[in-house]
Amino acid sequence: MTPATPPSLPIRQALDRSEPLARLTQRLRESAERLDAIRPLLPPPMRALVRCGPLDAEGWTMLADNGAVAAKLRHMVPALQQRLESAGWPAVVIRVKVLSGA
């Protein structure tokens, strides 16, 4: 006789039932929303080359496909921070990193 397996849950329910996973989901959503808020400031050719990264207690990370895009983003950080603050996001440090293997 095989042991009974508990019924599986849809991923959304599983995420919502686990407090750590729910917090992670919220941080992922906030990171994507921050990117949406600053996207209009990015030059159109750069928009597809920038991704949202981790959001944590120390700040928010933006991920660039290459070093040139990362350098441009670093120059834009003051304007990006201003846009986020004017959109109601609390002030955080913006980190820019190059995606490895990109």
Q: Which domain holds residue 64?
A: 32-98
CA distances from 84 to 2, 39, 74 (A): 55, 11, 15
pLDDT reported for residue 1: 59
Residue 22 lies in a domain: no
pTM for this entry: 0.78
- What is the spatial order of strands in the sheet that 59-64 belongs to? 50-56, 59-64, 93-98
Query: Is pLDDT of 12 > 80?
Result: no
Query: Is pLDDT of 6 > 90?
Result: no
What is the pLDDT averaged over residues 10-20? 74
Residue 74 lies in a domain: yes
Query: Is pLDDT of 47 > 60?
Result: yes
Residue type, 28: L
Q: How confident is the model at residue 39 (pLDDT cuts 50, 70, 90)?
A: very high
3-state secondary structure of 83: helix
Residue 39 lies in a domain: yes
Residue 57 lies in a domain: yes
CA atoms in the 13 A half-sphere facing the CB of 63: 12
Q: How confident is the model at residue 22 (pLDDT cuts 50, 70, 90)?
A: confident
Q: Round the average pLDDT of the chain to a whole number and report it.
A: 89
The number of folded domains in the chain is: 1
Residue 79 lies in a domain: yes
Q: 72, exposed or middle or buried, with CB in 10 Å at 0-12, 13-18, 19+?
A: middle
